[in-house]
Structure 1
Amino acid sequence: MGQPRRSVCLAVRAQLAACVLATSLAWGQTSRLEFDLPAQPLEASLRAIAERDNLQIVYVSADVAGIAAPALKGQFTTVDAITKLTEGTRLSVSFDGKATVVVKPKETSREGALRDSAQSWYVDEVVVTGTNIKGVAPAGSPVIVIDKETIRRSGYSTTEQLLQSLPQNVRSGSEGATADGELSAGSLAGVNSTKGTGVNLRGLGSVATLTLINGRRIAASSSGTFTDISLIPLSAIERIEILSDGASAIYGADAVGGVVNFILKQDFEGAESQALYGFTTEDGLDEWQLTHTVGSQWGSGNALFVIDYKNQSELLAADRDVTSTVRHPTSIFPENKQIAFVFSGRQRLGDKLSAQADVQYSHSERFGHLTFSGGRLTAEQPNTIDRINAALGLTYELGRDWEVSLDGVVSREDIDLRFDARNVATGAPDASQSYVQDQRQDQWSSGIKVTGPLFTLPGGNVGLAVGASTRSEEYYRKVPLWAADEEAERTVKSMFAELHVPLVGHDNAMTGVRRLEISLAARYDDYSDFGDTTNPKIGISWSPIDSLELRSSYSTSFRAPSAGRELADSNKGIDPLMFIYSFTAPDGVGYVPVIQLFGSSPLVPEESKNWTVGLTFRPESVSGLEIGLTYFDIKYTDRIIAPPFDSGALLDPTLQAFVTEYASAAALQAALAQLVNGPVSYYDASGPSYAGGFFGPNPENSTRYTYESRWINAGKVDISGFDLTLDYGFEWRDNQFRFGFNASHLQEIMSSFAPGVPAVDLVDTTGNPLDWRIRTTAWWSRGKYDAALAVNYADSYVDTSGAIDAPIRSYVTVDANFRYELGDAAVANKNLFLSLSVINLLDEQPPYVAASGRNSHYDGANASPLGRMVTFGVSKRW
């Protein structure tokens, strides 16, 4: 949009307003266009419409700054589309009947009242992740949005692949929260018995990242250690919003490292089918995926239904060089057959009342193999996971832009696990090591929220949101072989308030202060088992010039132990199953048997203080360019962790707090019997021969050491770093281009495993986050052709897994995606697309590390053993 023409239009917009209504309404009845826009800043949506439809959209940047536009999909006139995008804001829309649309603050006039009466009968509420107030972005907080087009251009076929490419997310980490986590060096790798995948922002652990679907909590997985995002089909996702900031004041516990909000598709007209087939060019894995989406919109509502089926084969460790030393057969990735259903519906029930319903159901059957390092036992691991989330909401418009909403959510995850062990030598079943495990996690919640404008300042409307909620969580686990029968439950009652104050806006802008907004939020949570807590948050956004936004936020966060294994085991004490490993002797010569203790110490909630400061720059001289920079500092106390497994722990001064030496083996056995209040079972993992291990047939009779791998409250974790992002889109002749850059830099993660223990920096060490992770993307489109390229960079670091530290090279992979639209002359191939994507185009192998889980040789936190994967796709819009 050229500056001269914009100035002329702004000068005459008062005259335009007088004559535009009749023309725009008549034009709007005949010219309906197809729209497919992601949720993003309003200015970005306006630019996209202007560039595509060759329209002049006139607005003042300060008028639209800070306003979030919802996703928009379907057929609309341009004026109706822009009206939908600005619904709930202080902006009005007018059209000159030719090629100019004016977006400006609402005025009290007959023309404005008539225009409002012509708006669409049903419009979704616009709420951005990080705030409860509709129509505004959270002041001061950094929000990353992965929209539908970005998802498509990535070439990824699963949700976990997409999130693992995000530089702010650590792929695995200490809890092994990936499908190949069994081969990681994480101390909690064995906890991930379902082979699911979690999100681990900043490397603080998956429990420190709150995962939402459509803004609502869902039942956790794997004994509460993470939320399994692999159960969310990528085809059902409209966009992903990532708040890389503490948000306990908005959402309650768990939002320490940040929030990942999966917004599923809601508005869709017609039907669309998609089929994908992918395979690794190195032997081992292939997958099929079929998706069908059908939706309908009518004057007072809409409905959408998605069904997604995925069939992925098993990838064995023997199929990859870096895992070829793992005992065969052992799975890297299990076989996975998964079907998912998504339903979304909205309906007006009158002039002021509307209802919303969202239901998601996933059924996954996973099958893998595991052979222990001793080589005596191998096992088949079939498991079944069922997860259902159902939400029902009612919204009543109170008038004067106020509304009250009621919300009820039910979420359940049922897990059926089997461990069918066999003797390697004889092939006979081993009943003493075979077991079944039933696990269930339930969550119910209900809440009320009232939101609207309190009053108007010269800078705009002061928005308020207040509400209350109650949430119940239940956890159940039963393992007959171990005599484990665990149950835990809790109730959380909450109250919250949030205020958005636009101190300076368009009407009172001045030199040096074009915009100034403050967000204030506080939340009170009362736990039935861990007491109460109050967490505040303050955010500020300041634009000294129209093209520059400076922002900062401060918050505190709180996380109680989950109502899963951490809580259950704290009531039960130490698990009655003890593992015996060979550790390096305290004098460094030879080995001694050590009993590793699992379970939980008495726990207290985690707390953190989060501070961010950053900027967003959109230079007027370079249309389409946006640069973002965010510095973050998190001080985390009483973090709940399990100490790292380290066979050299008897020599490591930083781990001595977890080592106990007893006067004799008998004294140790007596202490354990008292702790578990009953008989103790032992599992000998001490050596290559399970007929006796390194230490004979009864190693428990010769050990005097225990090593705590129980859940504990760590002393502290201090983490700091910054994110740098760049997004630039432009047109040249008939070509469209878009470039992206996302870099995450961690300066330090100073971690102390116990009070009084010196803190160590975990950055750039095996199994932990790296100092630099970068993803660079480029996209090109011309007519029916569409191509994208991405380069993923993980910096070099130090291999600390062996006896001697060694360098690890950087890890660079390239992804490519190509799509072609067939001609639309014939109905048979109208809206028919063919696609080809190649993940890890150059087949880059993961860097070698000395030792990881199950004797593998790659670092699951920072690399994948999958290799090059090629996927062909076809999609048809009906």
Structure 2
Amino acid sequence: MFKQRTFGPLSRAAAASFATLIAAPVLAQDVGQGTIEALEEIVVTGTNIRGAAPIGNAIQTVGAEEIAASGKATVAELLRALPTNFAGGVAQADNNRGGQDGTSAGANLTGGSGVNLRGLGALSTLVLVDGRRVATSGQFGDFVDVANIPAAAIDRIEILQDGASAVYGSDAVGGVVNFILKRNFEGVQTTARYGTLTEGGGDEFQASIVGGTSWSSGRAVIGYEFNDRARVTAADRDIDGNYADEGGVNWQNYTSRVGGAANLFGPGAFSYISPVLYTVPQGSGSGLTAAQLAPATGGVGNTSNPWAGWDILPEMQRHSLFVTFDQDIASGITTNGSLRYTRREGNYHTGYVDLLGSVPATNPNFIAGVTNNFSVLVDDFITQRDTTVDSFGGDLGVTFDIGGDWKLDVHGSYSRENQKRESQLERDANIDDFLAGPGGGQVSAPNSVVCSLMGLNSSNIGAIAAPTAQQAFCAGLNYETFNPYSTDPLSAQVLSQLVGYENLEFDSWVRQGSVKADGTVVDLPGGPLKLAIGVDYRTEHIDGELDFNYRSIDPVRLPYGATERDVKSAFAEFAVPIFGDANSLPGLRALDLSLAVRHEDSQGLGDFTSTDPKFGLRYKPIESLNIHGSYGSSFHAPPMRFAYDGPQPVPGGNAILYNSAYTAPCTTGMVELNPANSQGICTLNTLVVSGGAGPVLKPEEADTWTVGFEFLPESVPGLLLSANYFNLQIDNRLVRITAGQLSGILANYFATGRSPYAGNITFFPDDAMVQSLYDDPRFVGLVGPGMTLQPNQIGAVIYATQTNLASLKMDGLDLGASYGFDTGIGEFEVFANGTLLLSYELQSTPGARYEDKLGKYEVMGNPVKLKSKQGLSYRRGSFGAIATVNYTDSYECVSGCYVPNAVGAPVLNTAPVKIDEWITLDLQFNYSFDQASGFLNGTSLGLSVLNATNEEPPFIDTGRLVSGNAPEPYDAANAIISNRAVALTVTKSF
């Protein structure tokens, strides 16, 4: 560890921060000596040995004061801003479009937030609370939701940016984020924060109270935090799908050919990108004739804003409680533990229902002489999605002195996430009811929308001499007739026929027990040789339940497939001091080595066995220079939901479906296409296999090595320089392909003829192969409008599932610098730090060439080359200020993006499209009334202005030419659209 200099509080905090590559400076106060002594024997992230920092790696630490001074309300917001957290983490992207499998946000059931170190994805980042595992979140159980951890409970966040399976087992490929809860806290502290977004929406109020006390044999901390955030709508940010003024496409004309008054399309298959022939006039829509219809200009017809009624960020409210305690039981026996509970509730506005369908002749509003293939926007109400998450965590440990400095630690923990989502959805499918089909087989019964259009009931079905099975089925429901040609308000009965519900509940839990002994084996000349050995056992479980009627007539309730695995581990770790204070030499002040190894074996869904070593070295040639390096292997087991492939009749579940929603250049010879429409857009008949991939998935396996230094020159007090080079290769790279990403993957493939995901695409599939998928229990048939397709009409089979790519290689640098100096007018510090990636390459199959993806925009997400923070801090007496410039490097879309052609129609780009760098300025001001008397004593005020210059995210037309899907005008992985945020915080300590 580094020697503390005798500077002021700000400089000391800054030096300690940058010595561990901290992400931001701190408006800190002096740390009491008692606190330091109490924390001497803690286990730091990255090692199992008490009282020692991990050898070979620097630990990035974000303290409670830094969290408070950051201007961020939540832990999720703070972590998202770290330079090492690439591609925005998971979920809490700034929109929630798409179904459960449409986007990562769609599969994020309750609007949670994950961490994505090194840009490797939340899958490859292990998240811990006090060193213990936390239950996973989302439909796929592929991230830990840090939004459920209250900021008021955190003493510090420790971040290890290196593989760590030798210490922690599965998941620690990209790094480890460990939340350390407050334990050594005296008194009472209350905090209230109010913030708002100057561009509209997002008002936020947060309040907390934390109390702590100690006694001769123990201590305890208890606290509560409340957070309430208002929604931010697409209208608040003027997002409407028309990006022509910014050089993009007016998507309203191409994917939103639907309005409050109906459009009529031509015969055959049709979709929102099909040419419109006529528009229907305003009014009751009864008794219309073909002559009353207006011919559509340019095939566009009535359009609408695809973002109307949509939230970018939902309304969210959170309550969190936490308790920590330590207690001596008897001489040489102590116990410690914690409890935490969070309840978070959200409400999303999810837009209007847009319908595609055909009015049959049995409907009294049928218009003779035209096809009656229509689109219409049901704008009578905005659909909504309600979410609830109950998050619980608890742990209890007992430590025994067993001789010398050896201690035996017995620890158990339990964590649980109960996630619920209740959504309103269009009733456009029926996978539960079947009718007798030709040849004695069965066919799906009509869905609720089709029956609403049919206009038949038990009173008029007798007028049909020989009704079909479909007509008889719909008549038996006695539905009220839906007239899509009317612009009058719909009745409550018709609305209930058109819009249904999906209620989805997931339970995810993990219980963990471990026994560890650690202490000194022998005293060497360089210091004590320490050893930690232990065993660990955990059980991970996810199950769920689905209740819906939007894909059935009557409500259906069924389980969502339970998955469980048991994991047994044994581990050992040595810390070997070769040279230390007692035997140091010139040029060899210190030399430490470490060896850690862990064997992990899993049984259950997705069996795996892995043994992972890690070697570390720390060398100090002079007192002010610390050089470190490490090498190790790590792995990540496929999440259980990735390996489960049982039938699940829900979007994003395990299903097989077909449609004609995907497009391709009409000149391509890669796939058989449908005829071009009037705008020259060609579609392909696609069979999509979505959901879990089954037992074929393999664990990710990574080799990582690092080397770095921290330098605090004695000749320049207050200066700190640090650098860390990392290099890793991940074999069997795990990725999750969602249905919402398929259009982007296909666009890149058609443009270049190459794709890392080519193994998931089969063009010109064999009829027997397609037939086997039709016969699969997961097959649900046609989704969306279109014609029934036989196996020989399918032009491509695409697996929107989890998959293993052959390999990923990347390397880069973590860089940091700070210089603090005291002047007659106050203490200043300049600082800069960031992560520079040098390479990021994917290989699809063994032996294939690696493809450079660094700084290349793709829907699957690739990191940019550089993210950094730099700025200036100032403190004088009770006043402090920080100005921070945040930098996200520019990048480009080489292929697969859409741009407007000469007439404004979307076409694939043939030249790279640049996405500009994003530079924002954050300002924080703090004033402490510590010198005041009376009530003001112990009070501090904080004012933060994030994105003070109100910089909008760089424009990019995400170009999703898919039915009913609205493209965003920015890349939510690398920017946020909140714009300027202002917050005032008041803290009072008693």
Interval containing the TM-score (normalised by the shorter chain) = 0.7 to 0.9
Q: Which amino acid aligns with 2:988?
A: K
Does residue 385 (structure 1) correspond to residue 484 (structure 2)? The answer is no
Q: 1:235 & 1:597 partners in 2: Cα distance?
A: 44
Q: Which amino acid aligns with 2:684?
A: V
Q: 1:852 & 1:266 partners in 2: Cα distance?
A: 50
Q: Which residue of 2 aligns with 1:452?
A: 519
Is the contact made by 1:74 and 1:268 (CA closer than 8 Å) also made in structure 2?
A: no
> How far did residue 622 of structure 1 move?
1.9
Does residue 856 (structure 1) correspond to residue 980 (structure 2)? The answer is no
> How far did residue 661 of structure 1 move?
3.5
Q: 1:323 & 1:628 partners in 2: Cα distance?
A: 45
Q: 1:154 & 1:575 partners in 2: Cα distance?
A: 42
Among candidates 718, 723, 734, match of residue 629 of structure 1: 723
Q: Which residue of 2 aligns with 1:395?
A: 399
Q: 2:344 & 2:970 partners in 1: Cα distance?
A: 27
Among candidates 741, 754, 761, match of residue 659 of structure 1: 761
Does residue 206 (structure 1) correspond to residue 122 (structure 2)? The answer is yes
SS in 2 for 1:718: strand
Among candidates 903, 927, 943, match of residue 836 of structure 1: 943
Q: Which residue of 2 aligns with 1:142?
A: 58
Query: Where do residues 591-670 of structure 1 align in structure 2 (5 Å cutoff)?
Result: 591-601=683-693, 602-643=696-737, 644-645=741-742, 646=744, 647-648=746-747, 651=750, 652-654=753-755, 655-662=757-764, 670=771
Q: 1:852 & 1:831 partners in 2: Cα distance?
A: 53
> How far did residue 533 of structure 1 move?
1.1
Among candidates 159, 177, 191, match of residue 274 of structure 1: 191
Q: Which residue of 2 aligns with 1:340?
A: 320
Is the contact made by 1:346 and 1:356 (CA closer than 8 Å) also made in structure 2?
A: yes
SS in 1 for 2:84: coil
Q: Which amino acid aligns with 2:213?
A: S
Q: Describe the superposition over 1:275-294 as per-residue Cα deviations: whole angstroms up to 9, x where unpaired.
A: 11111000121111111111
Q: Which residue of 1 aligns with 2:332?
A: 352
Q: 1:756 & 1:433 partners in 2: Cα distance?
A: 49
Q: 1:770 & 1:836 partners in 2: Cα distance?
A: 31
Is the contact made by 1:154 and 1:788 (CA closer than 8 Å) also made in structure 2?
A: no
> How far did residue 796 of structure 1 move?
1.1
Does residue 247 (structure 1) correspond to residue 164 (structure 2)? The answer is yes
Q: Which residue of 1 aligns with 2:300?
A: none
Distance 1:842 1:311, change over 3 A: same
Does residue 846 (structure 1) correspond to residue 953 (structure 2)? The answer is yes
> How far did residue 317 of structure 1 move?
1.6
Q: Which amino acid aligns with 1:876?
A: K
Does residue 292 (structure 1) correspond to residue 296 (structure 2)? The answer is no
Does residue 794 (structure 1) correspond to residue 888 (structure 2)? The answer is yes
Q: Describe the superposition over 1:761-800 as per-residue Cα deviations: whole angstroms up to 9, x where unpaired.
A: 2211223211011111422221221211111001111035
Q: 1:725 & 1:373 partners in 2: Cα distance?
A: 50
Is the contact made by 2:656 and 2:773 (CA closer than 8 Å) also made in structure 1?
A: no
Does residue 367 (structure 1) correspond to residue 340 (structure 2)? The answer is no
Q: Which amino acid aligns with 1:338?
A: R
TM-score, structure 1 normalization: 0.82
SS in 1 for 2:643: helix
Q: 1:134 & 1:786 partners in 2: Cα distance?
A: 35
Q: Which residue of 1 aligns with 2:95?
A: 180
Q: Which amino acid aligns with 1:332?
A: I
Among candidates 645, 662, 666, match of residue 569 of structure 1: 645
Does residue 554 (structure 1) correspond to residue 631 (structure 2)? The answer is yes
SS in 2 for 1:261: strand
Is the contact made by 1:576 and 1:681 (CA closer than 8 Å) also made in structure 2?
A: no
Q: 2:798 & 2:780 partners in 1: Cα distance?
A: 16
Query: Where do residues 114-129 of structure 1 align in structure 2 (5 Å cutoff)?
Result: 125-129=41-45
Report the more deviating stretch, 187-196 or 783-792. Answer: 187-196
SS in 2 for 1:648: helix
Q: 2:135 & 2:108 partners in 1: Cα distance?
A: 15
Structure 2 unaligned residues grouped into runs of 5+: 21-25, 243-305, 356-376, 428-483, 552-557, 669-675, 677-681, 899-907, 961-965
Q: 2:222 & 2:532 partners in 1: Cα distance?
A: 31
SS in 1 for 2:106: helix
SS in 1 for 2:123: helix
Is the contact made by 2:309 and 2:352 (CA closer than 8 Å) also made in structure 1?
A: no
Is the contact made by 2:11 and 2:718 (CA closer than 8 Å) also made in structure 1?
A: no
> How far did residue 366 of structure 1 move?
1.0
Distance 1:707 1:637, change over 3 A: same
Is the contact made by 1:310 and 1:338 (CA closer than 8 Å) also made in structure 2?
A: yes
Q: Describe the superposition over 1:703-736 as per-residue Cα deviations: whole angstroms up to 9, x where unpaired.
A: 4322211101111111111110123334334623
Among candidates 151, 156, 162, match of residue 234 of structure 1: 151
CA RMSD, Structure 1 to Structure 2 (Å)? 3.1
Is the contact made by 1:355 and 1:392 (CA closer than 8 Å) also made in structure 2?
A: yes
Q: 1:445 & 1:624 partners in 2: Cα distance?
A: 44
Q: Which residue of 2 aligns with 1:468?
A: 535
> How far did residue 737 of structure 1 move?
2.9
Q: 2:36 & 2:977 partners in 1: Cα distance?
A: 46
> How far did residue 138 of structure 1 move?
0.9
Q: 2:792 & 2:352 partners in 1: Cα distance?
A: 23
Q: 2:353 & 2:83 partners in 1: Cα distance?
A: 33
Distance 1:827 1:603, change over 3 A: same
Structure number with greater Rg is 2
Distance 1:570 1:649, change over 3 A: farther
Is the contact made by 1:153 and 1:787 (CA closer than 8 Å) also made in structure 2?
A: no
Distance 1:216 1:663, change over 3 A: closer
> How far did residue 569 of structure 1 move?
2.8
> How far did residue 548 of structure 1 move?
1.0
Q: Which amino acid aligns with 1:673?
A: Y
> How far did residue 159 of structure 1 move?
0.9
Does residue 763 (structure 1) correspond to residue 875 (structure 2)? The answer is no
Distance 1:781 1:555, change over 3 A: same
Q: Which amino acid aligns with 1:541?
A: R
> How far did residue 511 of structure 1 move?
1.9
Distance 1:649 1:626, change over 3 A: closer
Distance 1:420 1:340, change over 3 A: same
Is the contact made by 1:274 and 1:291 (CA closer than 8 Å) also made in structure 2?
A: yes
Q: Which amino acid aligns with 1:575?
A: N
Is the contact made by 2:87 and 2:862 (CA closer than 8 Å) also made in structure 1?
A: no
Does residue 809 (structure 1) correspond to residue 916 (structure 2)? The answer is yes
Q: Which amino acid aligns with 2:980?
A: R
> How far did residue 435 of structure 1 move?
1.0
> How far did residue 697 of structure 1 move?
7.8
Q: 1:583 & 1:533 partners in 2: Cα distance?
A: 43
Q: Which residue of 2 aligns with 1:583?
A: 663
Is the contact made by 2:4 and 2:12 (CA closer than 8 Å) also made in structure 1?
A: no
Is the contact made by 1:500 and 1:517 (CA closer than 8 Å) also made in structure 2?
A: yes
Q: Which amino acid aligns with 1:411?
A: S
Distance 1:127 1:624, change over 3 A: farther
Distance 1:610 1:727, change over 3 A: same
Is the contact made by 1:329 and 1:371 (CA closer than 8 Å) also made in structure 2?
A: yes
> How far did residue 811 of structure 1 move?
0.3
Query: Where do residues 704-783 of structure 1 align in structure 2 (5 Å cutoff)?
Result: 704-733=795-824, 735-755=826-846, 757-766=848-857, 767-783=861-877
Which protein has greater RCO, CA pairs closer than 8 Å, 6+ apart? 2
Does residue 194 (structure 1) correspond to residue 110 (structure 2)? The answer is yes
Report the more deviating stretch, 491-500 or 393-402. Answer: 393-402
SS in 1 for 2:152: helix
Q: 1:875 & 1:846 partners in 2: Cα distance?
A: 32
Q: Which amino acid aligns with 1:387?
A: S
Q: 1:513 & 1:597 partners in 2: Cα distance?
A: 60
Q: Describe the superposition over 1:427-484 as per-residue Cα deviations: whole angstroms up to 9, x where unpaired.
A: 6145776311110101111001101111111111111110101000111022244766
Q: 1:314 & 1:226 partners in 2: Cα distance?
A: 24
SS in 1 for 2:976: coil
Aligned residues: 772
Query: Where do residues 455-534 of structure 1 align in structure 2 (5 Å cutoff)?
Result: 455-481=522-548, 485-529=560-604, 530-534=607-611
Q: Which amino acid aligns with 1:180?
A: N
Q: Which amino acid aligns with 2:831?
A: G
